[in-house]
Structure 1
Amino acid sequence: MKERCLPKTIQFLSYDEPLGSSLACISVLFCLITFSAFCLFIAKRKTPIVKANNRELSYLLLISLMFGFLCSLAFIGRPNLKTCMIRQVLFAVIFSFCISVILAKTVTVIMIFSATNPDSKLKRLVAMRIPVYIVPVCTMGQIILCIVWLARAAPFAEFNMVAEIGIIVIECNEGSRVLFACVLGYMGLLAAISLLVACLARKLPDTFNETKFITFSMLVFASVWLTFIPAYLSTKGKQTVAVEIFAILSSMAGLLVCIFIPKCYIILLHPEMNSKQYITGRNTRNRGT
């Protein structure tokens, strides 16, 4: 009769529903697994497998993975101005920091083997300690982009009444799509450089196959985010946020499993491989073949 107003259903991804609580539990679970790996690396910090390829970078990567899993929690709950700003900035900075550490680890392997080759042109770069500057410089570039983004057109919460009929979806508007694309493009650029460098270094005779693990992890990372784009564009409402959280968890889990789980497997189940005698014997066999 058009004589009174009927309130529409307000929708957002919350902790009270099964989807939101499941994603939150998965995020916390992976964070605890990463923390366990971090504690294991600290306890075995004097062993060859932890010392290989700069253990400080391994610590930084594990810490960034923990924060990466936890940042997905910011995407769950009722969006508002603060959460919309925090979730996107945390996501961008943490992922850029993580990829920068992986790039630094790969460059470290290349520079170590170039130092052993007297004919290598990269030998003089070893003294410059380039990997030390890769992480802060690459991360600072993303921080500057995020500051410009927040200053010019920050993300904000909006009521979307078009996404689904009869439902008001509370979601985060990116503000400036151009700056948001720049932030994502910067992460994509870092990931592409890391993948390229890892592919070039994958055949180096690394004792624990570090570069091969990094190459595979970056392939998993790139595959997740390439499949994320069509999935993100084809979903509506709270499913869009769920897809983004799933991409975050999947890509971070891929890095954790590909880079650190093989090392944890050797530390826990094959400690005889985590010794100088094993490494020396293996290097001798490699030279013999």
Structure 2
Amino acid sequence: MYFVTFTDSENCIRCPDMEWPNEKRNQCVTKIEQFLSYTNDIISMFFSLISIVLFLITALILRVFIWYRYTPIVRANNRSLSFLLPVSIKLSFLSVFLFLGRPVDITCMLRNITFGITFSIAVSSLLAKTIMVCVAFKATKPGSSWRKWVGVKLSNSVVLFCSSIQIIICMTWLAISPPFQELDLHTYPGTIIIQCNEGSAIGFYSVIGYMGLLAAVSFVLAFLARTLPDSFNEAKYI
């Protein structure tokens, strides 16, 4: 709460919430708006540059997969997942830009949801690859019941199932209490911090927690598959 006073005046006048007194305290002036700008903040420029570089590297890797898509290595490594994994990683890198610039309601809703879904698809693809490697080596044993699980359908089902759970969580979050733009008028005097309020804290932590759960499951499976031959085992690099 800020007030201004005038010469020979016995009463003070309260400034509006969007304004505060000048140095002489005889006039209300507009507060400075503060947010992560694309051009004025070094941190924003740094993360933008890193995101673009990593996006281009991932795009180059995807180009290699597409170029050699008919080779036995790519086909045996599940060609659809080999395409889906770098595409989802590329989108995850681009989602950084939703966290930069002046927040509005739509970007507040999209930032965590976009990253949560794309990252979950990426981890689900890696999880599906790991499961397929484990199943394939178990199926090599004579009379193994795992043989019926070997195939593209299993990996696609894993990705679809794991990603669908994250999508359901995000849609529930948006339906109950979606994120929105918030103006912080009181933390720093003379400054309006434009930020995003996450709305439902349960929804936010559910999205983050589910990504952590997928990553943890992938790590556990990678640990269990660490003894498989290096030529087939991508999961060991987790």
1:5 aligns with 2:46: no
1:107 aligns with 2:134: no
AA of the residue aligned to 1:93: I
Structure 2 unaligned spans of 5+: 6-24
AA of the residue aligned to 1:44: Y
Secondary structure of 1:35's counterpart equals: helix
Corresponding position of 2:38: 15
Greater shift in the superposed pair: 203-212 or 80-89:
203-212
Deviation at 1:21, TM superposition (A): 2.4
Deviation at 1:151, TM superposition (A): 0.8
> Which of the pair is proportionally richer in strand?
2
Corresponding position of 1:85: 109
CA distance in 1, matches of 2:200, 2:175: 11
Deviation at 1:120, TM superposition (A): 4.2
After superposition, the Cα gap between the structure-2 partners of 1:49 and 1:130, relative to the gap in structure 1 and judged at 3 Å, is closer
Corresponding position of 1:251: none
1:215-226 to 2 correspondences below 5 Å: 216=238
Deviation at 1:9, TM superposition (A): 1.6
For normalisation by structure 1, the TM-score amounts to: 0.69
After superposition, the Cα gap between the structure-2 partners of 1:171 and 1:65, relative to the gap in structure 1 and judged at 3 Å, is same
CA distance in 2, matches of 1:120, 1:196: 23
Of 144, 150, 154, 1:126 maps to 150
Structure 1 unaligned spans of 5+: 217-289
Of 193, 201, 206, 2:225 maps to 201
Deviation at 1:123, TM superposition (A): 3.3
The superposition leaves residues 164-203 of structure 1 with CA deviations (integer Å, 9 ceiling, x where unpaired) of: 3432110100001011111111111111111111111121
Q: How many residues align?
A: 214
CA distance in 2, matches of 1:201, 1:138: 20
Deviation at 1:10, TM superposition (A): 1.0
CA distance in 2, matches of 1:121, 1:207: 24
How many percent identity over aligned positions? 44
CA distance in 1, matches of 2:152, 2:27: 74
For normalisation by structure 2, the TM-score amounts to: 0.83
CA distance in 2, matches of 1:126, 1:208: 15
Secondary structure of 2:181's counterpart equals: strand
- Do 1:79 and 1:170's aligned partners in 2 also have CA atoms closer than 8 Å? yes
After superposition, the Cα gap between the structure-2 partners of 1:27 and 1:60, relative to the gap in structure 1 and judged at 3 Å, is same
The superposition leaves residues 190-242 of structure 1 with CA deviations (integer Å, 9 ceiling, x where unpaired) of: 111111111111211141541212xx2xxxxxxxxxxxxxxxxxxxxxxxxxx
CA distance in 1, matches of 2:113, 2:193: 22
CA distance in 1, matches of 2:103, 2:144: 54
Deviation at 1:128, TM superposition (A): 8.8
Q: How well do the aligned residues superpose, as a CA RMSD in angstroms?
A: 1.9
Could you say which structure has the larger radius of gyration?
2
- Do 2:36 and 2:101's aligned partners in 1 also have CA atoms closer than 8 Å? yes
Tell which has more relative contact order, 1 or 2 (C-alpha 8 A, sep 6+): 1
> Which of the pair is proportionally richer in helix?
1
Deviation at 1:119, TM superposition (A): 5.5
Deviation at 1:52, TM superposition (A): 4.3
Corresponding position of 1:54: 78
Secondary structure of 1:158's counterpart equals: strand
Corresponding position of 1:35: 59
